[in-house]
């Protein structure tokens, strides 16, 4: 890894590593909600004969606990500092560096996600494996595919939130946009329920037309080996396409935003 991205990633990692109580409290909350969601889904599965939309008991357990862990890694509900810095005018300092802020924020985000992987991802995963019958991947290829998929999920989550942050250049206050984003991700990312339970046309629309399933459902489906290696590769390609496309959009929107920039607060 070249030096600048590495330095920024390491700084992002250390920045979040300073807040240990927050890490602990967050992981604890994820575990509690994991139990709730797991018992509900298993109860539903028992009612309908053991499997929901092709996920049997152990796969449902994996779906819930991987989701609880990845939630903090993808961190889709925590907005980047960007919007707040636009609001306060501090974004000036970001623009006065010899590097595009898009990359500064991206590498910092990967550092944050790395820290979350080691802490917030591991805790619910261990609890899930110890307390329930957890689906263990049968094919070794699944592990590297899953790892790549998590990286792409972080990228897609970042690009979406960066775009939301950029809207602050026009709106100043992004609360409306981020509330809508919170609602959309809850439904469409595969956090609340596996997207496969939706009618086919709706699920397909979400997969093809929005980046939302790329955040959680894609890596989880790869981990539970839904549809084999070919299907997993297809999911990865979809994630990569969304990630690259959204980054391009971010660059374009940012260029327009900077051109109309009004620096707040003198």
Which residues lie near another protein (CB under 8 A)?
3-4, 7-8, 11, 14-15, 18-19, 88-90, 92-93, 95-100, 104, 259, 261-263, 265-266
Shorter beta-carbon distance to another protein: residue 7 or 36: 7
Kindly state the smallest distance separating residue 91's Cβ from another protein, in Å.
9
Q: Which residues make Cβ contacts (< 8 Å) with residue 184, sequence separation at least 6?
A: 210, 212
Cα Dmax for the chain: 65
Shorter beta-carbon distance to another protein: residue 38 or 91: 91
Kindly state the smallest distance separating residue 7's Cβ from another protein, in Å.
4
Kindly state the smallest distance separating residue 55's Cβ from another protein, in Å.
40
Shorter beta-carbon distance to another protein: residue 33 or 103: 103
Kindly state the smallest distance separating residue 83's Cβ from another protein, in Å.
16
Shorter beta-carbon distance to another protein: residue 234 or 257: 257
Say if CB 165 and CB 82 are below 8 A apart.
yes
Kindly state the smallest distance separating residue 97's Cβ from another protein, in Å.
6
Between CA 137 and CA 152 the distance in angstroms is 20
Shorter beta-carbon distance to another protein: residue 19 or 183: 19
Q: Which residues make Cβ contacts (< 8 Å) with residue 177, sequence separation at least 6?
A: 164, 167, 171
């Amino acid at each position: 890894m070249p030096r600048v991205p590495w330095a920024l990633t390491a700084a992002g990692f250390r920045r979040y590593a300073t807040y240990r109580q927050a890490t602990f409290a967050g992981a604890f909350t994820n575990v509690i909600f994991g139990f709730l969601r797991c018992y509900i889904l298993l109860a539903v599965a028992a009612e309908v004969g053991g499997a929901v939309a092709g996920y049997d008991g152990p796969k449902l357990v994996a779906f819930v606990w991987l989701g609880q862990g990845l939630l903090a890694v993808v961190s889709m509900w925590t907005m980047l500092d960007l919007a707040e810095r636009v609001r306060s005018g501090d974004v000036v300092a970001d623009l006065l560096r010899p590097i595009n802020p898009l990359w500064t924020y991206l590498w910092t985000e990967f550092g944050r996600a790395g820290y979350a992987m080691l802490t917030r991802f591991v805790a619910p995963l261990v609890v899930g494996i110890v307390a329930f019958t957890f689906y263990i991947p049968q094919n070794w290829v699944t592990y590297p595919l899953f790892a790549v998929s998590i990286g792409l999920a972080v990228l897609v989550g970042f690009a979406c939130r960066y775009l939301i942050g950029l809207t602050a250049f026009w709106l100043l206050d992004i609360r409306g946009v981020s509330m809508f984003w919170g609602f959309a991700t809850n439904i469409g990312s595969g956090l609340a329920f596996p997207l496969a339970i939706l009618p086919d046309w709706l699920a397909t629309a979400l997969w093809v037309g929005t980046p939302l399933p790329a955040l959680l459902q894609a890596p989880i489906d790869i981990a539970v080996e839904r549809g084999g290696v070919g299907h997993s590769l297809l999911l990865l390609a979809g994630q990569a396409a969304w990630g690259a496309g959204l980054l391009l959009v971010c660059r374009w929107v940012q260029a327009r935003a900077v051109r109309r920039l009004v620096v707040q607060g003198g």
